[in-house]
Structure 1
């Protein structure tokens, strides 16, 4: 099953160096029964996109918690064998899962990351993350604005070059 792990350049660099994502529990997003029920008319590709979009939104929260890392949403797509069932508290449309295992680097299928041009939009959303979680309309608008930015796709063999070019801070000033 494909799962989407929200991340940052710093976290991706760490996972690449140690060969795994962890420690558990690890938040990931996937096509869950709750997502499938909410988006009943969606085909598999649309459902996967919806799960990835939720992971990208969660990535903004990780950026808010780590102001020193590049202001670019990052989602790691992984193929895992077993995904735990929802515990019954999942809301309709929710793609969120909690993985109680380490996810090996060998399961990485691709990385999705914002282009450098998205830094201002994503940075503003990260700065306003806490206010958005508290329902502030302007902050929610800033967070929703990130969805207008496309995530670029990187194959697994491109990840080392991406990390070398961007570094865990995302460039010389840590903001690009």
Structure 2
């Protein structure tokens, strides 16, 4: 199953050092039966994009918890065995948990905001909790991050990518 894991650049440094993403359980997003049932479009790519977008939104919450992390959303795409994934529709329709540590070789790609997204991401991070609590103005600010497509990187490019963002 392809899952999408929210992260930060600081977390990516740890993934590169450990050669794995953990510890388990890891909260992620995926095309689940609940997402298929809710979404009007049954195109697999559209459904994957919906799950990916939820992971990008969750990355804002991780950035809120880490005030020193660069203000760029990160999403890791990973392929994991179905038996290592549990569905959590009680949390949200696309939420899953990986019950095992994810080795680096299971990552399919890394997605990171470009520099032009930083001001919008920084503004969204400041109000993400208010948006979660129903503040419409805050939600408008958070939705502004959807205008920025995350850049795609091959897993082999991870060391070069991280050189641009030194560990603290």
TM-score range with shorter-chain normalisation? over 0.9
1:4 matches 2:4:
yes
Partner of 2:139: 140
Alignment length, in residue pairs? 167
Counting only pairs closer than 5 Å after superposition, residues 71-82 of structure 1 correspond to structure 2 as 71-82=71-82
1:155 paired residue number: 154
Residue number in structure 2 paired with 1:39: 39
Deviations 1:4-57 (A, max 9, x none): 100000001101101111112211111111111112423111111111000000
| Cα distance, 1:87–1:112 mapped onto 2, change above 3 Å | closer
Unaligned runs of 5+ in 2: none
Distance in 2, Cα, partners of 1:88 & 1:149: 27
- Say if 1:8 and 1:62, in contact at 8 Å, map to a contact too: yes
Secondary structure in 2 aligned to 1:128? helix
Whether the 8 Å contact between 2:36 and 2:47 is mirrored in structure 1 is: yes
Distance, in Å, in 2 between the alignment partners of 1:163 and 1:85 is 31
Aligned match of 2:67: 67
Tell me whether 1:84 sits opposite 2:82 in the alignment: no
* Post-superposition CA distance 1:95-125 (Å, at most 9, x none): 1112221111110110111110000000011
SS of the residue corresponding to residue 156 of structure 2 reads helix
Q: Is the 8 A contact 1:11 1:168 kept in 2?
A: no
Counterparts of 1:88 and 1:160, CA distance in 2 = 35
Q: Distance in 1 between matches of 2:143 and 2:57?
A: 9
Moved more, 41-50 or 2-11: 41-50
1-side partners of 2:166 and 2:14: how far apart?
11
The 3 A distance-change label for structure 1 pair 107 and 49 is: same
1:105 matched residue in structure 2 = 104
Moved over 4 A (4+): none
Q: How far apart, in 2, do the equivalents of 1:136 and 1:146 lie?
A: 16
Aligned-residue CA RMSD (Å): 1.5
Rounded to whole Å, the distance in 2 between the matches of 1:167 and 1:134 is 34
